[in-house]
Structure 1
Amino acid sequence: MLIRSLLFGSVPPLRCFSSSAHNILKTGDILKETRVFTDEDVLEYSKVSHDSNPLHFNSELARKAGFEDRLVHGMLVAALFPRIISSHFPGAVYVSQSLNFRLPIYIGDKVSGEVQVISLKENKKKYLVKFKTKCIRNDELLVLDGEAMAILPSLAVEGVRSLD
């Protein structure tokens, strides 16, 4: 119901990029962002989410549980996906996300988040876009993957071609 109201509603389109006539987001295009999660990120996320699992704060306990060190919250890492999309398409509405947590992410790891366009459907000057999502730890290990859906304002896809 929410998707239907967003697609058929009367939200005005947003212009997000300077347009160059033939540049349009297409299937296969990729958006990326890399970041390192810090102690402060984990602490702040814990405050907001009320997730105070000791595996995020106690190195000794994390090691006893079989991990190398303290863990970054999986949902904090997954928050890279809507951030990537909304930074390229202000006004985007994040509709859904599936997640597969493959490996742990440790404080200080470099994490590269990536969203790749799987499909685009236009309806009433808006686009429903399906993305394949993944995070890679330290340039080599797949730690998180899944799929996401977002509704992009109609003019947001103009002016975008090479997204790497």
Structure 2
Amino acid sequence: MVENAIEANRAAVEAWSLPVSEEDSAPETPPLDRIEPAEDLPEWHAEIGADDPAEISVGDKFTFTKTITDADVKSFAAASGDTNPLHLDDEFGQKTRFRGRIAHGTLVGGLISAALARVPGLVIYLSQDLEFHNPVRIDDRISAECEIVEDLGDDQYRLRTRVMNGEDIAIDGEAVILIDDAPEDAE
């Protein structure tokens, strides 16, 4: 068993370092040194419910949409160490209840954080509960939807969080965030 895990880790690292072929239909994940804070890539889509931290209120929604690529899954496996073959091995995935590879649940849930990164101010996660309902596959275009459902006071808010895969709920949950003032020299 240990040898299989070591082999899976090596395969993930090798796969992570290979470029995505030009034949892939999904957009390539850019190198990390090309991503700037508060910058969206062309294949991402975000909708923002408020532009100023002082204007945030119950009912405001924040969404983030992107396609989950093979490169995303391999990069996540390499970064997290989660080399479960369900996420990396097509043949293995075919033999499971999912009948194919699926993206890591935590990778998919990470899109909630991406949506919250668009909230004005400095968002600090205080808690997040997730329920996994449906798998997300390579090349699925998914949307994280966050809606403020309660003002808890002291700049803290409770949110309903969802990741949608078309009409299907992939993840349903709830978060509590703190919206802090961004440092003045950071703007």
Aligning the two structures, in what range does the TM-score lie when normalised by the shorter sequence? 0.7 to 0.9
1:42-75 Cα shifts (integer Å, max 9, x gaps)? 1111011100000111112111112132110000
Instruction: Report % sequence identity.
Output: 29
1:112 alignment partner, one of 126, 133, 143:
143
Structure 1 unmatched runs, 5+:
1-15, 156-164
- State the SS of the aligned residue for 1:79: helix
Match of 1:8 in 2: none
Contact 2:77 2:83 in 1 (8 A): yes
Tell me, in whole angstroms, the C-alpha distance in 1 between the residues paired with 2:115 and 2:105: 16
Q: Which amino acid aligns with 1:46?
A: A
2:168 alignment partner, one of 133, 141, 148:
141
TM-align CA RMSD: 2.0
Q: CA deviation at 1:89?
A: 2.8
1:6-46 Cα shifts (integer Å, max 9, x gaps)? xxxxxxxxxx9469xxx822212211111111111111110
Tell me, in whole angstroms, the C-alpha distance in 2 between the residues paired with 1:18 and 1:103: 34
Tell me, in whole angstroms, the C-alpha distance in 2 between the residues paired with 1:97 and 1:18: 23
Structure 2 unmatched runs, 5+:
1-49, 183-187
1:38 alignment partner, one of 63, 69, 78:
69
Tell me, in whole angstroms, the C-alpha distance in 2 between the residues paired with 1:29 and 1:136: 18
TM superposition score normalised by structure 2: 0.66
1:94 alignment partner, one of 125, 142, 148:
125
Q: Which amino acid aligns with 1:41?
A: D
Q: Which amino acid aligns with 2:177?
A: A
Q: Which has the higher contact order (CA 8 A, sep 6+)?
A: 1
Tell me, in whole angstroms, the C-alpha distance in 1 between the residues paired with 2:55 and 2:122: 17
Runs of 4+ in structure 1 over 4 Å off: 16-19
1:135-159 Cα shifts (integer Å, max 9, x gaps)? 111x21111010001100258xxxx
Q: CA deviation at 1:90?
A: 4.2
Match of 2:56 in 1: 25
